[in-house]
């Protein structure tokens, strides 16, 4: 991974560049890194702001032979790889909020966006977008973000080399990806749980069609979130926005 790196100073979104490369047969493991994004994409059609020269904005191209059903597991796997890399480089133990936000002290430090192409039986490609707040200081955040976002520098009180972090993330990713392709999601699930912050908590999951409030009791072997509502009914959540019910 990362043997082929496409580096660009300014892009609309590394996700767009990566999907163009996919159409031009870029091999698995190709990564796109940008210094600045004009139209960074977040999950659920949100925008993603990339601070100039202070954040990591990258997209990773995968070509796994898997069914689209298990593709969300790749997002959880990526969260584990990044959490482990952050821990190795900074000494901070980050938390993962299902499915894939990385938090430190309950504030977001990294977001992951997985986009795939293919048909109902088999995936052709997956582009995993990774945005990490690395060297921002408090004054880089507008007031409305300062309560919910943080950076590695703010948390640790020192700047970090983004290139080093990318290198460790790719090594961690490669390690877990190989385990996943060989043994499936189970071994990754155990690691994911060791970073999970949502489990055991009262949460609210907002999906496209409903709102589920209850206790997060675990994730399935396939990576979906299980929530038990006050009536004791267990809901399986495939995709949602999660907030903590205080
Ligand atoms: C989220 O938490 O909503 C996901 C954010 C993903 C942001 C990254 S930055 C690199 C890549 N390019 C994009 O446009 N988005 C992802």
> Which ligand 1 atom is nearest residue 40's CA?
14
Beta strands in the chain (DSSP E): 5-11, 31-37, 55-62, 95-97, 101-104, 107-118, 123-133, 202-206, 211-219, 225-228, 234-237, 241-244
Q: What is the pLDDT of residue 85?
A: 98
- What domains lie within the chain, and their CATH numbers? 5-195 (3.30.930.10), 202-244 (2.30.30.100)
Secondary structure percentages of the chain, helix, strand, coil, to 5: 30, 35, 35
Question: Whose C-alpha lies nearest to ligand 1, atom 10?
Answer: 57
What DSSP assignment string belongs to 62-88? E-----GGGTHHHHHHHHHHHHHHHHH
Is residue 245 scored above 80 in pLDDT?
A: no
The candidate with the shortest Cα–Cα distance to 6, out of 53, 165, 26, is: 26
- Rounded Cα distance, 116 and 49, in Å: 22
Segment 77-81 shows an average pLDDT of 98
Give the pLDDT confidence of 11-35 residue by residue, as tens digits: 999 999 999 999 999 999 999 999 9
Is residue 122 scored above 60 in pLDDT?
A: yes
Alpha carbon of 117 to ligand 1 centroid (Å): 17
SS3 203: strand
Q: How buried is residue 10: exposed, middle or buried, by Cβ count under 10 Å (0-12/13-18/19+)?
A: exposed
Residue 135, ligand 1, Cβ within 6 A: no
Alpha carbon of 132 to ligand 1 centroid (Å): 9
Percentage, residues of the chain above pLDDT 90: 82
The candidate with the shortest Cα–Cα distance to 124, out of 200, 66, 199, 44, is: 66
Residue 198, ligand 1, Cβ within 6 A: no
Segment 160-179 shows an average pLDDT of 97
The candidate with the shortest Cα–Cα distance to 234, out of 211, 215, 207, 210, is: 215
Burial 132-158, CB ≥16 within 10 A → b, else e? bbbbbeeebbeeeeeeebbbbbbbeee
The candidate with the shortest Cα–Cα distance to 95, out of 242, 199, 218, is: 199
- Rounded Cα distance, 196 and 23, in Å: 35
Contacts of 145 by beta carbon, 8 Å cutoff, 6+ apart: none
Alpha carbon of 60 to ligand 1 centroid (Å): 11
**Does 41 show up as a binding residue in the annotation?**
yes
The phi, psi pair for 243, rounded to 5°, reads: -130, 155
Pairing mode, strands 95-97 and 55-62: unpaired
Residue 129, ligand 1, Cβ within 6 A: yes
**Does 162 show up as a binding residue in the annotation?**
no
* CA 192 to centroid of chain Cα atoms: 12
Q: What is the ipTM of this complex?
A: 0.99
Residue 36, ligand 1, Cβ within 6 A: no
Is residue 246 scored above 60 in pLDDT?
A: no
Residue 40, ligand 1, Cβ within 6 A: yes
Residue 118, ligand 1, Cβ within 6 A: no
Calculate ∠ Cα 74-172-31, nearest 5°.
Answer: 70
Residue 99, ligand 1, Cβ within 6 A: no
Q: What is the pLDDT of residue 90?
A: 98
- Rounded Cα distance, 151 and 54, in Å: 9
**Does 175 show up as a binding residue in the annotation?**
no
Give the pLDDT confidence of 187-229 residue by residue, as tens digits: 999 999 999 998 999 999 998 899 999 999 999 999 999 999 9
């Amino acid at each position: 991974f990362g043997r082929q790196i496409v580096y660009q100073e300014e892009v609309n979104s590394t996700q767009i560049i990566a999907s163009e490369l996919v159409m031009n047969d870029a091999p698995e493991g190709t990564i796109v890194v940008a210094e600045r994004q004009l139209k960074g994409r977040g999950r659920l059609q949100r925008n993603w702001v990339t601070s100039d020269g202070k954040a990591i904005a990258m997209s990773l191209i995968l070509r796994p032979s898997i069914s689209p059903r298990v593709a969300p597991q790749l997002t959880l796997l990526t969260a584990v790889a990044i959490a482990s890399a952050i821990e190795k480089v900074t000494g901070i133990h980050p938390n993962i909020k299902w499915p894939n936000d990385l938090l430190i002290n309950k504030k977001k430090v990294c977001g992951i966006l997985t986009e795939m192409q293919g048909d109902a039986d088999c995936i052709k490609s997956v582009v995993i977008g990774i945005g990490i707040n690395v060297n921002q200081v408090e004054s880089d955040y507008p007031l409305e973000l300062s309560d919910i976002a943080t950076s590695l520098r703010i948390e640790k009180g020192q700047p970090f080399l983004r290139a080093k972090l990318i290198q460790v993330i790719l090594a961690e990713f490669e390690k877990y990806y190989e385990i996943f392709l060989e043994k499936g999601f189970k071994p990754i699930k155990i690691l994911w749980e060791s970073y999970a912050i949502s489990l055991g908590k009262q949460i609210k999951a907002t999906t496209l069609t409903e709102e589920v409030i209850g206790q997060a009791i675990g994730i399935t072997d396939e990576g979906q979130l299980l929530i038990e509502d006050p009536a004791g009914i267990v809901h399986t959540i495939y995709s949602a926005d999660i907030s903590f019910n205080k």
